[in-house]
Amino acid sequence: MGIGTIIVFSSLVVILTTTALTPLLGVNLQIYDLSISDEAVATNFLAIRSATFASLAFFIVNYLRNKRPLSSVAPLLAFCNFLVFFGAAIMVKRAQFEAIPWLVLCLCVALSVFLYRENKAQIGVIFRDSW
């Protein structure tokens, strides 16, 4: 892996991580025009955007460390975990305690548990005959 690749991916990780974390501070960083605003944006949009950017940054860091996902379920699991984290954090920060968004978040937690079990099962299958 060349130094140019490392520089490009590292700068991308910084931008994606910053964009993912700024809604937790009440700021909306927009990548497409590199602007910062505090205008109201829908909570579900911010949670999905932050989870997506955090997942991308997570897998870029893993790529730079030469770590590959051990199963095909790992990217879905990472996204669900980030979605649960950012969804809960943004809803608590905005004091949104309606029942439906929290019910959807609970379904995401259940999906995350299911994907975790599937991920563990696939890892066992992948490495069953390797020794």
Q: Rounded to whole angstroms, how far apart are CA atoms 98 and 96?
A: 6
Please state the pTM of the whole predicted model. Answer: 0.84
pLDDT confidence of residue 128? 55
Longest CA–CA span in the chain (Å) reads: 56
- For position 124, what pLDDT does the model report? 67
pLDDT tens, N- to C-terminus, the chain (131 residues): 788 888 999 999 999 999 899 888 888 877 777 777 777 777 888 899 999 999 999 999 999 888 877 788 889 999 999 999 999 999 999 888 888 989 999 999 999 999 999 988 887 666 555 54
CA distances from 131 to 87, 101, 126, 127 (A): 41, 46, 11, 8
Q: What is the pLDDT of residue 85?
A: 95
For the chain, the structural domain boundaries read 3-126
